Amino acid sequence: MTNAKEKDSSSCLPPNIYLRSLKHYTKMYRRSLEEPEAFWAEQAQKLDWFKIWDRVLEWQPPYAKWFVGGKLNVSTQCADRHAKTWRKSKVAIYWEGENGETSVLSYSTLSRDVNRFASVLKKLGIGKGDKVAFYLPMIPELPVFMLACGRIGAVHTVIFSGFSPQAIADRVNDIQAKLIVTADGGYRRGKIVKLKEITNEAVKLCPCVKKVIVIKRTGEVIPWIDGRDIWLSSLLDDAESFVEPEPMEATHPLYILYTSGTTGKPKGVIHSTGGYLVHSHSTYQWVFNIREESVFWCTADVGWVTGHSSIVYGPLSHGASIVIYEGAADYPTIDRWWDIVEKYGVTILYTSPTALRMFMRSGEEWLAKHNLSSLELLGSVGEPINPETWQWYYKNIGRKMCPIVDTWWQTETGGIMISPAPGIEQLPLKPGSATLPLPGIDAAVVDVNGKELPPCQTGYLVIKRPWPGMLLGIYGNPKRYQEAYWSRFPGVYYTGDFAMRDNDGYFWLLGRADEVLKVAGHRLGTAEIEGAVISHDAVAEVAATSQPDAIKGQAIVLFVTLKKENSPSEALRKDIIRHMRQTIGPVATPNEIYFVQSLPKTRSGKIMRRVLKAVASGQSTGDITTLDNETSIAEAKYAYQSLKKTKSGLGRELDQH
């Protein structure tokens, strides 16, 4: 397997960084593995606890419990404790709406609002252990509500605002949420996304939902159901200004976040209160070297794990000032982000390679219009950053003065795992490598048999021991938890990623090794995509795979066979795309659909996706000796080539929310 990262593994030292012996990092890393419990206990002491833990770790594979017996509350960590110090007047959140509206929340306002929102939840009968779902745009009320849930011990699920009614209903029903919080709408590229209408459609499928809180964002007229729907503003009228924080067991779930895996159904990843917070708090400092005067902007949506740990829990637990932007990167013009960086004096920018590749394409003249000199540190997350994009980021956004932290982690890991850590020591960087594991993270690259590989060989990335941010499990599905992460290589956590370690021990993350796609940094399972396509009336069989995409990294392509009475047409192609957007959401828009008579299968009837992936990428199909129907490949190739000739692709929108 080849990858851009493998080609360029030469050491690259930005001019402001010179090689050091990495004394500090090496010492800290070694100690973290030699005395893991003492090490993590020291990190945990940086937080405020109602009660100190009895045991740092209870490890009964595959379940890890951290800080057992300890009690704490995330809302006091992230809001109250700052509001009691000089930080009360420090900015917690600079919010920029897409339509130009702005608001600024100080830590005292944040703390006050968290209390009031917690009071609202309590008055609606929500208490410890209850599940609350959020389907919201990127507005400050979202982090406030997340912390309000934590205050009373309710467990939140944030549902990305680009998801469809069916996707919302699947998640809400799985956790049996009693309450959904949504908004009348949100702004996306100048248009209004009708979130309340979508929520109404979803709630029709969710008998568990008793109440819907609605936040006014757009002021549009919206469909309303008396008795069920309530405006947040009316609830706040008689909210208490103080709610006693619930002393939460460290091992109690804080949130459940759904993510795609290798089966059709997204999995509800459960994160704990104590271990998760210790992990996100510690790694946030190590990786971003946060200082009081830092202005931190993570451009992810709160609906993904990056938003949870790098917009809400990591930064706010440190009392950092963050920027939240509601809308599209290219609205009204492609320099909107650079305008925001300049306006708020952003010092740390954390974003995705997909966004960077989009900016690369639009040219540097847009950057020249802005003063980006406030930037000190740049970050990348969600997908491999190819060396060319890394260099562009370094040169054009960082003016060759900002180190780049390429951070590898997953929804399941809760926090960053492999990354440069300028907060500990500035490592020499190599474009395209996430460098070394953070302290406490025992990462390795193994072969198919689980044997650790020598340097420069590609294998599977595993984590050999538990870490505090490790998921507690998959909601309602212990079997799937065991199978997805702990069965492939017994005793160690399987990440599902390919990786390679070079001679310096640096990790190169090479993409997914399983049936999970990363499209524009968003995680989607091929089984989930196929499930959506097959529910279209005209479709008999489908195989979903990916092809490389210059901007999105990977793009979805479908090979489809039709039921007898149907024949391929442009109209049908468009209708399948419409259907997928409706079933999963715009993130699932395929780049191409190839209509074929049959799909290549093994003699036992398994679709050979590997072969289709090669066809869709214009590569050699490799060994096909196990194939049952060879003509299907010739057909798939023909479909690929003719479509390539006639069109440049459907639904090729970069930002598809």
Residues near ligand WTA (CB under 6 A) are: 259, 304-306, 381-384, 406-411, 434, 495-497, 509, 512, 518, 523
Range 531-564 burial, b when 16+ CB lie within 10 A, else e:
bbbeebebbebbbbbbbebebbbbbbbbbbbbee
Least CB distance from residue 318 to ligand WTA, whole Å?
A: 19
Q: Is 438 helix (H, G, I), strand (E, B) or coil?
A: coil
**Nearer of residues 264 and 345 to ligand WTA, judged by Cβ:** 264
* Helix (H), strand (E) at residue 254: strand 253-259
**Nearer of residues 197 and 514 to ligand WTA, judged by Cβ:** 514
Least CB distance from residue 416 to ligand WTA, whole Å?
A: 8
**Nearer of residues 267 and 573 to ligand WTA, judged by Cβ:** 267
Least CB distance from residue 146 to ligand WTA, whole Å?
A: 17
* Helix (H), strand (E) at residue 518: strand 516-519
φ/ψ of residue 437, rounded to 5: -65, 150
**Nearer of residues 90 and 308 to ligand WTA, judged by Cβ:** 308
φ/ψ of residue 300, rounded to 5: -65, 165
| Backbone conformation region of residue 456, classed left if phi is above 0, alpha if psi is from -120 to 50, else beta | left
Residues near 252 by Cβ (< 8 Å), separated by ≥ 6? 128, 129, 153, 272, 273
**Nearer of residues 95 and 508 to ligand WTA, judged by Cβ:** 508
**Nearer of residues 199 and 411 to ligand WTA, judged by Cβ:** 411
Lookup result for tokens 């459960």: 270
Lookup result for tokens 């593995």: 33
The two tokens of residue 165 are 């009614």
Least CB distance from residue 621 to ligand WTA, whole Å?
A: 24
Least CB distance from residue 64 to ligand WTA, whole Å?
A: 19
Q: What are the C-alpha distances in Å from 14 to residues 325, 432, 503?
A: 30, 14, 20
Least CB distance from residue 413 to ligand WTA, whole Å?
A: 8
**Nearer of residues 122 and 518 to ligand WTA, judged by Cβ:** 518
Least CB distance from residue 417 to ligand WTA, whole Å?
A: 9
CA distance 267 to 110: 31
Cis peptide bond N-terminal to 332, omega within 30: yes
**Nearer of residues 147 and 484 to ligand WTA, judged by Cβ:** 484
Q: Which among 184, 250, 176 is positioned nearest to 206, based on CA atoms?
A: 176
Least CB distance from residue 179 to ligand WTA, whole Å?
A: 26
